[in-house]
Amino acid sequence: MFVKTPKGHPMLLAYGYTFSKNSGIRRGGSRFACSKFLSKNCKAVVHVDKNNVILKAVYDHNHDPPEYTIQDGASTGRKTRLSRCDNRARLTAIPLHKFYTKVFLPVSFITLASSGKTVLLYQRHTFSKHSKYRGGFRYRCSAAMSRGCRAYVVINTANVVFKGVFTHTHEPPTLRADKDGRVVKIYKRINLGNDCR
């Protein structure tokens, strides 16, 4: 969601942290840097498209979230921690809660029937473990090689996403469970008609 400081400056608010717009990106999107970029050299950033949907995010902050309260429906002030923001935000006229559903969600793990391999499932897409990352793991899209997809997620030890590129070059696969509970992944259905012998 977007909020305004007491001085009227707009800021992006995502998971208790505030971000200030510092540049544009391709196709009409924007890049937001953590508000503590200068004072604490925090490297956390968020990229959004022209519809304010997150495309890429680095939520690896080096500081605790600030304490804010919602005032006048869409303003911020340093007073109480933002743990109650979800309730208060419903009273505002800014319906930009896409930020709360695109990132920082727990992941699931499924076993593929074709290979017996365990993969990560996030936002209906599957990801394969690629490398270690600061105590957690980096997973890249399962279609990285076959379709050149560059989407990836990084999870911490609690299996929660805190960094990633969330835009894929393809639609999510159709997933079906077999009788043993393993998952069959289908990218495209083919109708053979009545001429199949």
**Which residue among 101, 133, 148 closes a domain?**
101
Q: Are residues 95 and 115 in the same domain?
A: no
Percent of the chain with pLDDT over 90: 5
Lowest mean pLDDT among 76-80, 87-91, 138-142, 189-193: 87-91
- The radius of gyration of the chain from alpha carbons, rounded to an integer in Å, stands at 20
**Which residue among 55, 75, 101 closes a domain?**
101
Check: CB of residue 136 under 8 Å from CB of residue 154.
yes
Q: Are residues 154 and 76 in the same domain?
A: no
- Top pLDDT among 169 and 104 is at 169
Which residues constitute the domain of residue 29?
A: 2-101
The 10s digit of each residue's pLDDT in 97-130 is 333 333 445 677 888 777 788 888 888 888 999 9
In whole angstroms, what is the distance from residue 69 CA to residue 158 CA? Answer: 28
Q: Are residues 97 and 113 in the same domain?
A: no
Check: CB of residue 29 under 8 Å from CB of residue 48.
yes
The verdict on pTM exceeding 0.85 is no
Q: Are residues 42 and 126 in the same domain?
A: no
Q: Are residues 46 and 119 in the same domain?
A: no
Q: Are residues 94 and 9 in the same domain?
A: yes
Q: Are residues 116 and 27 in the same domain?
A: no
| pLDDT for position 187 | 52
Question: Average of pLDDT values for 123-140?
Answer: 87
83 falls within a domain: yes
- Number of residues that this document lists for the chain: 197
What CATH number does residue 142 fall under? 2.20.25.240
In whole angstroms, what is the distance from residue 54 CA to residue 14 CA? Answer: 10
Is 162's pLDDT higher than 90?
no
Q: Are residues 97 and 112 in the same domain?
A: no
The 10s digit of each residue's pLDDT in 2-38 is 776 667 777 887 767 788 888 877 777 888 888 887 7
| pLDDT for position 127 | 93
Backbone angles phi, psi at 142, to 5 degrees: -65, -20
Q: Residue 42's closest CA among 29, 59, 57, 54? A: 59
**Which residue among 68, 86, 101 closes a domain?**
101
3-state helix, strand, coil in the chain (%, to 5): 10, 40, 50
Structural domain tally of the chain?
Answer: 2
Mean pLDDT of all residues belonging to the chain: 70
Question: Average of pLDDT values for 148-167?
Answer: 83
